[in-house]
A and B are shown apart, each in its own frame.
Chain A
């Protein structure tokens, strides 16, 4: 055959066999709880995204190694979004009906979360956005399918100000201070703005907004402004390469790193390790956990998954901050399924709607967490139909040039400030969408 004909024949044969192969794998995976995994292992945010993804997938593997969820094995499939909203939507559509239906989606992108918030109620699939997503979605009466578990950006903004107030010696000392927010110019970076402005009004400090365009490698102008205006504190709301760039710029403009506080997405190893000594003194909020290489769950992971050569990522990254975040996110989803099984039948595959009930009635007390190996990693969390966040514990950790160390006590978000804002924003959403918020009676069903 001529080469051209040969190539053509090859393509057809390949396509045919490929369709066969995909059909047979679909059959083999019936009767398993399917977890779609939206990840980004390529693109500008890959260094951070892949650690999270490794943690997420590893925990699913660990759950299987421990016998699944009451015997139900977990199947999963990754789909690459590259942090782009349209690819994220495509991945969602691709995976939502696969292998008996998706259990829960965790897009790890605020932009994708916004798009999926419109789609999840139609498909009846819950959306866990642990530590990101829409802040007002903690109101479960309106956002029935969103679960911003453990914390939202409004919690982060509020705690960051609490931390600054503590350093300064009380909220009274904040008067007349200047606090700059260097943020990723996307829904993610803009989320904290309303809370900061509200708090600024209450406590009399000035908020300076300094947006940084995607992907965040060009920040010269931003830091020139900081040099000119000398804010008392800089809050860093960045992601991926933007964080390390900010720290480098801070170093070169001589802005003290001790006065910089990052959100929990700007406080992991990839952000600081290249800057190393230059980032010394920089602190970041944590979503309860920091780097936890000594926790029991990480030891289990190394023993039961990595020792068998089944680990997803490099072994030395197990237990790092973003790895733990992914692991925790997967754990919350798995526990949601477990809770749902308590009501709808142990050892059965749960539908998205049943998992939502499980997530809404999640109650992980310290004993359960300790038993799972999360002692010291996270605090108890209890959700309800109306509160989809569960808890808002935050600590601050500081980079000492080599590793992250906790440098503060536990904080909790100030409900007095945030609750009215959540109610206002979510009722505006309900009005726009012509939704009727669920009443406490409906919740009991």
Chain B
């Protein structure tokens, strides 16, 4: 009833091809953005900003990057953590070694460095596929772990191998308070998500999807696999690299290579699988699921136990958190193998007919 496009006539191709052809969708997204930029800062306290929203935004960006590669181009990667690390450390080095380097420029350079490294580690994708490629990208993970642990130059010869940044500012805007950090991440994410959505809808995105669906057929109709695959690696690594720089600079402020370990790569891959492969929306769902759910469980369980007069030990809560989290992953994968994004679109389909399904 509410969600129906009756009466919305499209009189031009531009109307028909916009990102959200249905007016309700458009308003929903605009409303969501207005809420995120204006409503959230008014409502939310520091804990939610620092511990939930900022990590969620940053990992959404990373998941978006991984989704471009895995979901849209079909190249499985286990090296996302590595590209985050490259982005973070490259941005760090540009930031401290070049005097007066603007923050955004060092982020972009970090992303570009990560894209270059991504292209390099994407070369095997021209010859190997599927699980074998996953193993090849795992090499990127171990390589960067090794580089940032062993080569002191990258960490500015810090004795403990931990680097830190502070006094971040863009022109005269000091990014210090949680609100500033949140807005900064949100602004970057909005720009990059919009770019990603458009990229997947234009020629290059179609090439990626053609390669994903059947690379031999794609090649026969004239798509260059080398360009398509390597561009996917480059764009994906760029996104992931920017996310890495944000994770280091904005979220942690002081980090060591363990922040971008192989666990992080797995986490990002799970995000896109659970969220929905080949869906921009899915990246956000996946990030929310993986970032927020464990923390929510961790806080919800003791309260639930308290209700029945039980005190659950800290270890017990942690174990329960892992058990429930794992069970939910399995549940979602069985219930909807195409991810939460598919549930979302099924929901929308149903809503179109509501309340009179035939």
Contacts and interface: CB of A to CB of B under 8 A. Distances in A.
A85 B252 contact: yes
A432 B161 contact: no
Contact of A434 (B50, B51, B167, B306): B167
Given A25-B306, A97-B47, A118 B315 contact: no
A79 B167 contact: no
A14 B256 contact: no
A119 B315 contact: no
A134 B162 CA distance: 10
Given A85-B256, A114-B256, A134-B160, A211 B149 contact: yes
A111 B149 contact: no
Interface in A75-98: 78-80, 82, 85-86, 89-90, 93-94, 97
Contact of A111 (B50, B159, B166, B258): B258
A218 to B, nearest CB: 13
B307 interface: yes
Interface string B222-263: 000000000000000000000000000001111110110100
B46 A41 contact: no
Interface stretch (B83-91, B293-301, B343-351): B293-301
Interface string A19-36: 101100100000000000
B179 interface: no
B50 A22 contact: no
Contacts of A194: 159
A372 interface: no
A18 to B, nearest CB: 4
B254 A114 contact: yes
A93 B318 contact: no
Contacts of B51: 89-90, 93-94
Interface stretch (A183-191, A248-256, A280-288, A362-370): A183-191
A80 B315 contact: yes
B299 A432 contact: no
B313 interface: yes
A56 to B, nearest CB: 12
B55 interface: yes
A433 interface: yes
B304 interface: yes
A378 interface: no
Contacts of B149: 185, 211
B253 A190 contact: no
Contacts of B313: 41
A110 B255 CA distance: 11
B166 A433 contact: yes
A333 B176 CA distance: 29
A97 B160 CA distance: 30
A193 B255 CA distance: 19
Nearest to B96: A432
B166 A18 contact: no
B164 interface: yes
A385 to B, nearest CB: 23
A73 B236 CA distance: 54
A89 B318 CA distance: 16
A53 B318 CA distance: 15
Contacts of B307: 14, 17-18, 21
B317 to A, nearest CB: 7
A425 B315 contact: no
Interface residues of B, number: 38
A93 B47 contact: yes
A46 B159 contact: no
Interface in A414-445: 425, 432-434
B14 to A, nearest CB: 42
Nearest to B176: A122
Contact of B314 (A39, A114, A191): A39
B295 A90 contact: yes
Interface string B251-277: 111111011010000000000000000
- Of B46, B51, B55, B162, chain A has the most CB atoms within 10 Å of the CB of B162
A9 interface: no
Contacts of B300: 15, 18
Contacts, number: 109
Contacts of B47: 93-94, 97
A186 B51 CA distance: 23
A111 B163 CA distance: 11
A85 B306 contact: no
Contacts of A46: 315
Contact residues of A: prevailing secondary structure: helix
A18 B308 CA distance: 10
A25 B307 CA distance: 11
B319 interface: yes
B303 interface: yes
A50 B161 CA distance: 27
Contacts of A119: 253
Contacts of A110: 160
Contacts of B167: 433-434
A42 interface: yes
Contacts of B55: 86, 90
A420 B102 CA distance: 34
A187 B161 contact: yes
A282 B9 CA distance: 82
A85 B258 contact: yes
A80 B318 contact: yes
B303 A187 contact: no
A111 B160 CA distance: 10
A114 B160 contact: yes
A22 B303 contact: yes
Given A80-B298, A86-B55, A118-B166, A41 B159 contact: no
A134 B161 CA distance: 12
B54 to A, nearest CB: 10
B209 to A, nearest CB: 33
Interface string B121-157: 0000000000000000000000000000100000000
A64 interface: no
A296 B295 CA distance: 40
B159 A193 contact: yes
Given A14-B307, A22-B303, A80 B317 contact: yes
- Of A21, A110, A115, A194, chain B has the most CB atoms within 10 Å of the CB of A115
Contacts of B96: 432
B147 to A, nearest CB: 13
Contacts of B162: 111, 114, 187
7 contacts: A80-B314, A85-B259, A94-B47, A111-B162, A115-B252, A186-B258, A187-B256
Interface of A: 14-15, 17-19, 21-22, 25, 39, 41-42, 46, 50, 53, 78-80, 82, 85-86, 89-90, 93-94, 97, 110-111, 114-115, 117-119, 122, 134, 185-187, 190-191, 193-194, 211, 214, 425, 432-434
8 residue pairs, one from A and one from B, having the closest CB atoms:
A41-B315, A18-B303, A187-B160, A93-B51, A118-B253, A78-B314, A42-B318, A90-B51
Given A19-B303, A191-B160, A432-B96, 14 more contacts: A22-B303, A25-B306, A41-B313, A41-B315, A82-B318, A85-B258, A93-B47, A94-B47, A97-B46, A117-B254, A134-B160, A186-B256, A187-B161, A190-B161
